[in-house]
A and B are shown apart, each in its own frame.
Chain A
């Protein structure tokens, strides 16, 4: 099949073209979901093997601060969804304001999480304290990296604020939101 044939039939992404934004971001999103899923599965299995160690570690975490971060990230996701709606309506400047809001709340999430880490490290807790804290720091740290990457992606798409770019950036942002929503009760609350 020639390049011209491919162009006539679409961009060549097949069923991924049904998804909003650039299909490549969905390849990344599904890869990330698999990675986080395996990570959370490992945490769950380790917890079943060392229940006392995990219960003791979980009891020292600040679930209220993590709960506050859930509200911050969910609100950031809402701002990102409003940005997509504005971009689709052709209101680029409005879309930019919403993206700024989503990025600012993402920054607040990082600040709260770093404050939580500082408190934990100040108590002498670290990666090698116990299997619980090894997985806790790796999981939340990996997620925090994605929050940072998400802010960078939002900043890039904010410049032009055209529909496809905004859909692409916000799709990644919602994946970061989704992973935290699933991770929060497993790490902080489930007994």
Chain B
């Protein structure tokens, strides 16, 4: 039997985070914290996809930084917008 490599481990992590994302919303009464957790899970999943599936782990940091910046910008904007809605 072959041992799971980084690709397999990333897949298992992604499935775990996807299940957590699906199961989390009913358990989170506070939208601000719930949204922060949901979007943090998405950021983690995106980061693992970029590093291990897109294979950006071994390329210059510029490329990893660009993809990470895209992920964080989109998700942070979504969280800020939802925070404004909740707080106003």
Chain A's closest residue to B52 (CB) is A81
Flag whether A80 is at the interface (Cβ < 8 A). yes
Do A81 and B31 touch across chains, with their CB atoms under 8 A apart?
no
A37 touches B34 (CB 8 A): no
Number of A-B contacts (CB under 8 A): 127
Q: Which DSSP category, helix, strand, loop or mixed, fits chain B's interface? A: helix
CB-based contact B35/A191 at 8 Å: yes
B66 within 8 A of A: yes
Known contacts A37-B73, A178-B50, A47 near B81 by CB under 8 Å: yes
Interface flags for B47-88 (1: CB within 8 Å of A; 0: not) read 001101111100110110011001101110111011011100
Instruction: Please judge, given known A-B contacts A44-B81, A81-B7, whether A185 and B74 are in contact too, CB under 8 Å.
Output: no
> Quick check: A74 and B11 within 8 Å, CB to CB?
yes
Say whether A63 contacts B39, CB under 8 Å: no
The dominant DSSP class at the A interface is helix
Within 8 Å CB of B45, what residues of A? 74, 181
Additional A-B contacts beyond A20-B54, A77-B14, A191-B35 (17; CB < 8 A): A18-B59, A37-B73, A40-B77, A44-B81, A48-B81, A51-B85, A63-B22, A67-B22, A74-B11, A77-B49, A81-B7, A81-B10, A81-B53, A177-B53, A182-B46, A191-B25, A191-B34
- Residues on B lying within 8 angstroms of A by beta carbon are 5, 7-8, 10-11, 14-15, 18-19, 21-22, 25, 31, 34-35, 38-39, 41-42, 45-46, 49-50, 52-56, 59-60, 62-63, 66-67, 70-71, 73-75, 77-79, 81-82, 84-86
